[in-house]
Amino acid sequence: MNPNEFQEYLAQAGIVLSEKQLAQFQRYYELLVEWNEKMNLTAITEKEEVYLKHFYDSLMVAHSMDLTEKPITLCDVGSGAGFPSIPLKIVYPNIQVTIVDSLNKRINFLTHLCEELELEGVSLYHDRAELFGQNKQFREQFDLVTARAVARLNVLTELCLPLVKKQGSFLAMKAAKSEEELTEAMKAIKLLGGKVVKEEKVSLPLSEDTRYIITIQKKKETPNKYPRKPGTPNKKPIK
């Protein structure tokens, strides 16, 4: 997907990009490749692949939620090189974005990226998601929490749902569907105050690669003991 195709396919989906936004995506690509030579940000570096599998893929969140209605607070857990939150911020500037990542090198990249792209309303935190979710400043404060290909769903649920405010949503973005994965996560979802309200299968244009977006709505407060200590959700997932 070249930049022109990126623009055209988004327009077909109702997202019309300005010249400034197109220039921001171009600069994002340049910085991603430049910094990737110094540190491991992504295995995908070909321009057409980045536009399709990182930029366009990140914006598929807009299929599942109207991001134009009101100013939304979004927390991106384990954002890596800024996906999906930075592409979403470029397209929907009114979103207030918070990114938490456990690697300070990635936070340094994102700090530089936000400065270069002149993005305002982005807060970056070098922290473990388990500790971040126990911080009263952030716990149950976000309208929307996203995680893209970070861990299995029962682990992601424990890392992400504590950050979602009541009636807010957690969107898990998955490259492959696993009924088994969703089934094994149902206990954790219910225990942590969530309910699965939507499962969507979407296809990337051109490649026809399939993606799955699982929307979990926060129905009640998460018990105080969750998330557990760093490393525990991965080693001993809720079953």
Q: Residues annotated in the binding site, as ranges?
A: 78, 83, 129-130, 148
Q: Residue holding tokens 């979990």? A: 216
State the Cα–Cα distance between residues 119 and 140, nearest whole angstrom. Answer: 25
Q: Residues annotated as binding site for S-adenosyl-L-methionine?
A: 78, 83, 129-130, 148
